[in-house]
Each structure stands twice: as C-alpha cells, then as structure tokens.
Structure 1
C-alpha cells in the first residue's frame, strides 16, 4: 500500500469509519453507507490515501466467509433442507426473470451481446451481506421470513457458482464435465463435514471444553478449512463456510462459537464495504450513471414485485412476500465479482464492468435505506423496528 504500512491503512479505515459511523448514527442513517462513502473518499479515485484495494478486498472476503459460517450455526440441517426445497422454484424462476430483464436493459444501451449476457447474469443475485446483515439475529433467523430470505440467498449462491465457472475463461475453459464434477462435489462435502464433526470435532470440543481459547481456534480452523476445501473442489468458500456452520449447528457449543466470532466478522465486513467504495473509478461515472440508475431502478422496484408474486403463488402472506422481496431488492457482491472476473478475462469492457459495479453500489445503499426505514433490523432508525 502507498502512504505507509498496512497498519497505517487500517488506522485510516477504522478511525475514519468510527467518525463517519458517529455522524451516520446521529443522523439516523445505515452504517453500511458510512463505510462505502469512506472508501470512495480515501480510495485511489478519491484522496488516494489507501490505494491497494485488491489486498483489502481479499482480506475483507474473510468477513463474508465468517458471515456464512455464523448463519450456518443458526440453521438446523433438516429444517434447512425443507426450506431449500420450498424456495427452489422461486429462486430459479426469479433468477431467470432478473437475467432477462438485465439483458434487455443492457441491450437498449448498445452493449454487445456478450456484455448484455454478463450484465444480465450479474442482475440475477441479491446481496448475501445486505440480506443477512439486516436480519435481526434473535428475531428472524429462526422465524419464517428469515428462513425464506436465507434459503433463497443460498440457492442463488449455487447458481452463482455455475455462472462463475463459465466466467473463469481465458486460461481455462469450463466444460460440462467440470460443471458436473463441481455439482457432485457439494453432497460429497456435506457428507464429509458431518462425518468429521461427529467423529473428530465434537470429541475434541468435549475433551477440551474448559479451554475457551482452544475452542475459538478450533472453530476458526474448521470454518476456514472447510471454506478452502470447498474452493479447491470448485465450489465457493462461502458455501464451504456455511456447510461448516450447519454441521456444528446441533452441537451445544454452537451458541458459544457464534458469540465469539461476531466481532471478528464485523471487523472484516467493514473492510469489505470500504473496498466496494474504494474500487470504483469515479472518472467513469458520467459514462455509466444512466444505465446503472436504470438497472438499479429495476432491482429496487421489479425485484420485490417479482418475489412477491412468486411467493404469493406459493400461498405466502402478502406482508411476508413484500418484506422478503424488499430485503432481496438489490444486486449482489457476486455481481461485483462477476464484473471483475469478466473484465480481467476480456469478456466485457471497462464501461460494462463499471455499470455492474455502480449498480451494485447504488442498490446496496438504497436497499439498505428501504429495509432500515421499513422493516425490523439491528440498525433500524426507529426504536419500534430495531431488533438484534
């Protein structure tokens, strides 16, 4: 990094985040907004005080991994399977609808066929971070609305893995056999995880449960180890971390692990949102703002409407259907990853890549406002809606 060491960059990020977060709380704004704005101010396209956004992005990815691990700790395996089965149709139909709409909008702005397909693919997914971060931990994770949100997000993650396989082009081709092997790796990883938990992990925890430091280290190793194994098998690290959490969910130690890891998760998530703001080239804003605003308008309005229609078809209550739709009414951190990989592989141009990034940032911000002002969340602006 320029301007000194990693320690100096962390000083700027977290001191700045504390200052802007204080302003955000006084003005009753979502904290996520403060972190993204800080990234734009301090990043290479702002004051240039923190320039190595690639390193920050890699570090902050750990926050997403911990987020999925902690989520898995709250999910009972049998109930999760039931919810995934129930929302599979919603997830697949909505993904196709979002992709088609994104493709049409991109085509109207004169992007190439290939760029339109990739922009459409980026519109398929909702943000795991926004969706889960704004779920009240003790209110919704074990209630129906939260379970619907989580199961749809997980299904979208599986679809995203397939999309990313196709995008890892250039140096390597994603063949049909490679995709099939990756899909077969998922049940194999699940079986391995539950076997290791039953015969190794739980026995170690029971034997050394008096040593809290050891339990903390064991949980970290289990989470990151399974995440890396999933990555090696062609899945995502997030999927591996979630499986790691679910496999330990029935253990009496699950609550202690969840409590211990939450501060570590928040540390890395601050870095993630900072890197989102810092990596955007403000010089291209004039070229991408119109298509990005139109795509954002689609995500913020049509996504909730499509989710609501599909859920009411499955006999969900109207209020529940609307809430789930608005909580998922943004594009995803996967969309930013798609833009990055596709641009590096030469599949799309710089302008198309920044359209996807701008859409992600705009929908991150506006969707957070919509949820925080209207639904129960840990950072709701009113005492009536604030839950954690």
Structure 2
C-alpha cells in the first residue's frame, strides 16, 4: 500500500468484504470466513493489492480495544470478582492440559523442544474476539453462560499478557529485565482504583452536566477508553487490559448502555480490518509445509477443548448444557496465539515454519469453531432463525 493510498485500500477492503459477505450469507457461511479469505486474496501473499498489512493491523487493533471496553461495560465488578474466583481452578487446569497437548503435538511433528514448548503455550488460549463476537449482546451477556465464558477468557488473557511480557524481556535489546513484569502486576489494582475514583469524581459529573450533548458523551467515552489503554501500555500491560478496566469502571453508571450501543458500529468497523489482517499475514508459499500439522492440530483442539472445559465446569457444579456450550464457544486458539508466534519468530526463538503452523492452526480453528457455534448455538449471525439473537 503506497503512501497516500489508505483510502483506496479501505475502499478495496470494505467493498470486497461486502461482496464476499453477500456470498457468505447466500451460502450460509459465517461472515468472519469472508473477511479472512479476503485478506488472503488481497494481501501481500495473494494478489498483492494491499501490502502494508502492518499499518492495517495497527488500525484494526483499535477494534479489539473497543471490544474489551464494551465487554467491561457489561460486567459488574463485584459479580466479576465472584466469577473469577469460581473459574480460577478451571482456567488454570485447562490451560495446563492444553499446553501439554500442544507440546506433545509439536514433538510429534518433529519440532525441537523449545519450538514445541511455544506451540504448547499458544494452545492455551481461546479467542476473545470469536467468543464475544458470537455472543448475543442482548441475551447471553446477562446470562450465566456468557458470564462464565467471559471470566475464563479474561483469565486466559492475563496468562497471554504474562507470556508476551516474558517473550518481550527475552529480546536482547530489552535491558529492563523482569522488573517490568512486577511493575505491570503491581499497576493492575492501582489502575482500577484510579479508574473508579476518576469516574466517580470527574467523568460522571461531566456527563451529568452535559448529558444533552450526545457528541460530547461519545467523544468522552472514546477518550476514556483510549486513555486507559495508553496508560496500561505505558505500565507494560496490554492496551486491552486498560480498555477493559476503563469499561468496567463505568459498568455501574446509568450511561453505560448508551455508550455501548453507540460504540458498537465503530468496533465492527475495526474488527473487519482485524480479520482481514489475519488472512493477509499468512504466507501462502509455506502452505504445503504447514497444512498437515495445522489440520491435525485444529482437529485435536476443537475436540479436546470442549471436552476439557465441559468436564472441569461440571466439577465446579455447572449444568451440563452450560458446561458444553462454554466449551464449544471456546473451542479454538486465539489471536494471542498469532501475536505470540509472530513475536517468537521475530526474536528467532522459533522457525518460520513453526510460526506458520501456529498461525494456520489459529486461522483454521477460528473458522471451524465459528461454523460450530453458528450452527449449534445462539449468536448474532446464527444460520437458523431459531438461534439468531442480537
């Protein structure tokens, strides 16, 4: 993508997405498949129409930030703490099982032990985007099923952040050592306390005084979200954690639902770019070397994850239907898996082939898991009228 052609690239991406999405709807396919396919087609390893995928990936990252901000708006802090306490055992045990499974698969494909270890780590995570994107905002967010799933995803996100911090500190040019890790976790409770106090004594009074100016409320909400995202990043946490803290600090306010409704179109705009960038980042020249391991790993993941989550959730007294639904909704690897693979490859901790096996497994599992959810469970894009819920 040459300088000055960002508008043309947006035209290609969103026009192409509209065309492929139309075909996906007529053929009863999940829309996410259309966006990923378009990225592979237009990206630097396809027709090479859109080349600067790094820029698009940075832009699309904003969509994930808004996604976590809106998620926080739907969660009550006291209830979230209760759920995290309940799901901590499930989250830790399941992550260990998935990591061990991935490590064994890596060794089975003759990867070196250190590469198999990275593969195992990437198997720990489920996709926050897929999980929440396919979760009806007016139904399951206010039901126990959705709350259990969200609490498990948040716990996994914390594990992913620790992993990224550890990898970042392995970079030779990074001199601060593991003090950043300690700083990050010390900052978490302080950030949350600061957010709560600022909402009570600054944000809510401003919103109450100027509540008739809807444009102002919209700008204030965006500034609040992105401000805490930047603050978290400066403290060696992720942008997503900062956005989530910003959202949850507003969850008890009367303006929370208004903000959520108005920010959803903006979030969806950026998420199209995110899924496009996932497809565009995959090197199609390596497909012959990674397709068999990726297909096998995807089959194992989408089989093992529902079984493990279903079993463990039943052990903490969840209903069988709830346990299985949460397991299937979390039955994929994650966008964090792709980030970890890219970072580990850039630091020469794993080979390009191993990195693409991880990325291909993530893409395939995202697609297959989306099919399973839209065919079997309630979601905004379910293929059956009976299951379609906004």
What TM-score bracket applies, with the shorter chain setting the length? Answer: over 0.9
Distance in 2 between residues matched to 1:368 and 1:320, nearest whole Å: 18
Residues 1:64 and 2:75 aligned together: no
Aligned counterpart for 2:189 among listed residues 187, 192, 195? 187
Q: What is residue 108 of structure 1 aligned with on the other side? A: 108
Deviations 1:209-228 (A, max 9, x none): 11111100000000000011
Task: Please say if residues 63 and 272 of structure 1, whose CA atoms lie closer than 8 Å, have aligned partners that are also in contact.
Answer: yes
Cα-Cα RMSD: 1.1
Of 354, 363, 368, the residue aligned with 1:361 is: 363
**Does the 8 A contact of 1:326 with 1:370 survive in 2?**
yes
Contact 1:165 1:174 in 2 (8 A): no
Q: Secondary structure at the match of 1:21?
A: helix
Say whether residues 1:46 and 2:46 are aligned partners: yes
Q: Which residue of 2 aligns with 1:322?
A: 324
Question: Are residue 230 (structure 1) and residue 228 (structure 2) matched?
Answer: no
Equivalent positions of 1:146-161 (< 5 A) are: 146-161=146-161
Cα deviation, residue 3, structure 1: 9.0
For 2:180 and 2:97, locate their aligned partners in 1 and report how far apart those are by CA, in whole Å.
Answer: 26
Match of 1:94 in 2: 94
1:292 aligns with 2:294: yes
Output the CA distance in 2 between the equivalents of 1:180 and 1:89.
23
Q: What is residue 240 of structure 1 aligned with on the other side?
A: 242
Do the aligned residues in 2 keep the contact of 1:139 with 1:387 (CA within 8 Å)? yes
Give the deviation of 1:173 after TM superposition. Answer: 5.9
* Whole-angstrom CA distance in 2 between matches of 1:65 and 1:314: 31
Match for 2:341 among 339, 342, 356? 339
Of 193, 217, 220 in structure 1, the residue corresponding to residue 219 of structure 2 is 217
Farther-moved stretch of structure 1 (170-179 vs 125-134)? 170-179
Query: Given the alignment, which residue of 266, 269, 272 partners 1:267?
Result: 269
Report what 2:128 is aligned to. Answer: 128
- 1:30 and 1:138 map into 2 onto residues whose CA distance is 20
Name whichever of 122-131 and 170-179 sits farther off: 170-179
Q: Is the 8 A contact 1:53 1:278 kept in 2?
A: yes
Residues 274-307 of structure 1: per-residue CA shift (max 9 Å, x gap) = 0000110000001011111121112100011000
- Using the TM superposition, give the Cα deviation of residue 336 of structure 1 relative to its aligned residue in structure 2, in angstroms: 0.5
- Residues 236-270 of structure 1 show CA distances to partners (whole Å, capped at 9, x for unaligned) of 11111111111001111111111110000000000
Unpaired runs of 5+ in structure 2? none
Q: CA shift at 1:4, angstroms? A: 6.2
Contact 1:2 1:49 in 2 (8 A): no
Q: What residue in structure 2 maps to residue 7 of structure 1?
A: 7
**Helix, strand or coil for the counterpart of 2:142?**
coil
Q: Deviations over 1:184-210 (max 9, x none)?
A: 111111111101111111111111111
Task: In structure 1, list runs of 5 or more residues that go unmatched.
Answer: none
Residue 83 of structure 2 is aligned to residue 83 of structure 1: yes
* Candidates 252, 256, 259, aligned match of 1:257: 259
My pick for the range that moved more, 194-203 or 174-183, is 174-183
Task: Work out which of the residue numbers 305, 311, 314 in structure 2 matches 1:312.
Answer: 314
Aligned residue for 1:138, secondary structure, equals: coil
In structure 2, the residue corresponding to 1:111 is in which secondary structure? coil
1: CA distance, partners of 2:258 / 2:72? 14
Q: Please say if residues 3 and 49 of structure 1, whose CA atoms lie closer than 8 Å, have aligned partners that are also in contact.
A: no
Moved more, 195-204 or 177-186: 177-186
Q: Give the deviation of 1:181 after TM superposition.
A: 2.2
Bigger shift: residues 368-377 or 184-193? 184-193
TM-score, normalised to structure 2's length? 0.98
Inter-partner Cα distance in structure 1 for 2:301 and 2:174: 32
Contact 1:24–1:30 under 8 Å retained in 2: yes
**Alpha-carbon distance in structure 2 between the residues aligned to 1:144 and 1:54:** 38
